[in-house]
Structure 1
Amino acid sequence: MNASPSHQPHPAEWTETQSLLPSAERDLPAGRHQFHKEQMMAQIHEDLRTSRVTPRKRPNPFLRRTILLPAAALALAGAVVGGLALTGGDAGGDKTPLATGPALTTQVGVADAKGAPRLLDRISLAAADTSTPTPHEGQYIYIASKVASTYPRTVGDKTTVVSQQLHSRQVWNSLDGKDGWLIEAGQTSDKGITLQSGTPMSSAYNALAKLPTDPDTLLRRIYRESDAARDPEVPRDQAAFVAIGDLLTESYPPAKVSAALYKAAAKIPGVVAVDDAVDATGRHGVAIAREDSGNGERIEWIFDRKTLRFLGERTVVVKPVADSPFKVGTVTFTSAITQRAFVDANKQAPGQAS
């Protein structure tokens, strides 16, 4: 499998007449958009609780890491601070703030560009060979994970880099993506908040099940959608890589779609294999990654070394950037998927009777 043959046109230049998403859907993929709104709010509320907090002299780190975040999301963030619910649902009452500690750090793994196509080919074959359940109408996708983020916090004239305590996150999404629920420690109450959308989300099961399984066709559509939504300062290859990651994380794609997404990722220039990466729960594995040259951070998809099962995702600073408070080796975001399942009702735990 050739990642970027010189005699072929760039994937973003391939022609395609159809769109991956409905024309009205020009926002972030559901999981990442929701995640960044929550993280922005968490940081804002934490700063409001901290005495003598001064305005930041650099962009919000979550905005800096949000490569597809449109201006509309910032407007929505402001509305949330003004008292509106995150997604039109009930905020669920009081929530306990997350503890913070020293910045999460790691040893930066060795990147291998030549090894990426071979590793992705193996991952694709393993995904295609995985037996995944087929949901029935009315069910919800349940995903449990552990997550944490790192960001600079300024109190008075002193800025320090802190990391959230590793905490649990539970998400329910209907198959059409129009209904869901979130419970996340420190971000919602124990009861959680409503997740709602007027149009099917890109990571909704019904939308994923209809994606083409030919890698070239699939990648053309991904480029079209990511080009339409990305920040102009973000390289299109990085935007496409993140878009695929969004479709693989807080969702439950059919096996054949997951396999096609991995094969499509192998065709994106700049994708590398990483010899060692660690998810949020400490599980070591190999990774598929791509560096954003603009901020010196590398997004890593982590897989079990033996089974090649997807474990989680993390973002690591791999190059110093002028005026950035993050040192090389800082983990700015980490996650670990602990359970995926189809359940019969919203807010129902796997194995629980409806």
Structure 2
Amino acid sequence: MNASPSQPHPAEWPETQQLRDTGERGLPAGRHAFHKEHLMAQIRDDIRGTTSNTPARQRSPFLRKPILLPAVACALAGAVVGGFALYGGGDGDGTTPLATGPALTTQLGSVDAKGGPQLLDRVSLAAGSGDTDGPVVRDGQFLYIASKVASTYPRTVDDKTTVVSEKLHDRQVWESQDGKDGWLIEAGQTSDEGMTLAGPHASSSAYDNLVKLPTDPDALLKKIYQDARANKDKEVPLDQAAFVAIGDLLTESYPPAKLVPALYKAAAKIPGVVAVDDATDATGRHGIAVARMEDQSGQREEWIFDKKSLKFLGERTVQVKPSPDKNDPIKPGTVVHTSAITQRAVVDGNKQMPSQAG
């Protein structure tokens, strides 16, 4: 499944080299939410009058590097100024703190440096065989995705920094067929009623966009690299940005059945993809993982699959190596973020539960 050594690296394809960064691009639904939360955390710090010299990464509870475009940042800031009631109960600023426990830690699984493409080949075959659970979404319908999530981050109080983890909690997302309307409910990040995800620009993970993606793995990977180059954080290597982008489509999205095997086959062509013999999702289910290390942060992004059925369970980010930042208190073995999908369904309206479907 590896690309031939005689072939150019995906980042060297002419189509990719000629791309220019743009001011507005659709981002995967998962990253949209993380950008909102990251910006909200920064705004809360400003409101609190944080004067610590602690780096921004250590003050933010959302450590997954955001791909925050200026247009997105302005839109989110405008949403706050416009009076969105995003947070309920708790501290003086209206938030409900979830980080009450010690840092989540894990035993790091053994890595097979050459096993990633082989494992993805097996996963793609399993995804493309027999009955699939890929959705068919009609006009006016919404995708519903429920998951269990938690994050770990450094928290500084009175100049003392400790590493804390959120309680494992529910996250529910609704997204319209075209991606321009939706809803988010997540403890600690929204009120009990939730918050709107409506906007003029459809996210790249919207169903209408997913059905247009090529199912040829090579053509699909070119498209992923194009979007990754246009959207990525300059600190994140392009290969890692492409790997994360595919992971977003596997988690807070519901790809059409024909697209799923192509996503796995495309991921197998990304340099640096490995297999991990044991990984645990947010609900404690053990599985095997496809992963990729980001050397600049020492963190490994893992996609977790059931060992027998090879069904996708969720993903997590683990600190594998010490951070290059010597002041970073996150130690190897720490679970920086964890997510497990508990339900995906097609519903007939925004905020409708699958149990209410006719």
Q: How many residues align?
A: 344
Task: Give deviations 1:23-78, integer Å, cap 9, x for gaps.
Answer: 774253232121232255257648977xx964242122557531523345555565
Q: Is the 8 A contact 1:270 1:291 kept in 2?
A: yes
Aligned mates of 1:25, 1:77 — CA distance in 2: 13
Q: In percent, how many aligned pairs have the same letter? A: 64
Deviates more, 1:338-347 or 1:90-99: 90-99
Q: Is the 8 A contact 1:54 1:157 kept in 2?
A: no
Counterpart AA for 1:188: T
1:245-284 equivalence runs, <5 A = 245-284=247-286
Deviates more, 1:39-48 or 1:340-349: 39-48
Quote the residue 1:332 is aligned against.
Answer: 336
Q: Report the secondary structure of 1:216's partner residue.
A: helix
Change (3 A) 1:280 1:5: same
Where in structure 2 are there 5+ consecutive unaligned residues?
90-94
Q: Report the secondary structure of 1:224's partner residue.
A: helix
TM-score norm. by structure 2 comes to: 0.88
1:352 aligned residue (348, 352, 356): 356
Where in structure 1 are there 5+ consecutive unaligned residues?
none
2:79 pairs with 1:91: no
Change (3 A) 1:305 1:137: same
Q: CA deviation at 1:92?
A: 7.3
Aligned mates of 1:142, 1:180 — CA distance in 2: 9
1:46-195 equivalence runs, <5 A = 54-61=51-58, 65-75=64-74, 83-84=81-82, 91=86, 94=89, 96-129=96-129, 130-195=132-197
TM-score norm. by structure 1 comes to: 0.89
Q: Is the 8 A contact 2:306 2:313 kept in 1?
A: yes
Change (3 A) 1:276 1:106: same
CA RMSD after TM alignment = 2.6
Task: Give deviations 1:249-283, integer Å, cap 9, x for gaps.
Answer: 11110111111111000000011111111111101
Counterpart AA for 2:55: R
Q: Is the 8 A contact 2:228 2:242 kept in 1?
A: yes
Counterpart AA for 1:230: K
Change (3 A) 1:287 1:84: farther
Aligned mates of 1:109, 1:249 — CA distance in 2: 21
Aligned mates of 1:56, 1:204 — CA distance in 2: 39
Q: CA deviation at 1:186?
A: 1.2
Quote the residue 1:234 is aligned against.
Answer: 236
Counterpart AA for 2:175: N
Q: CA deviation at 1:335?
A: 0.6
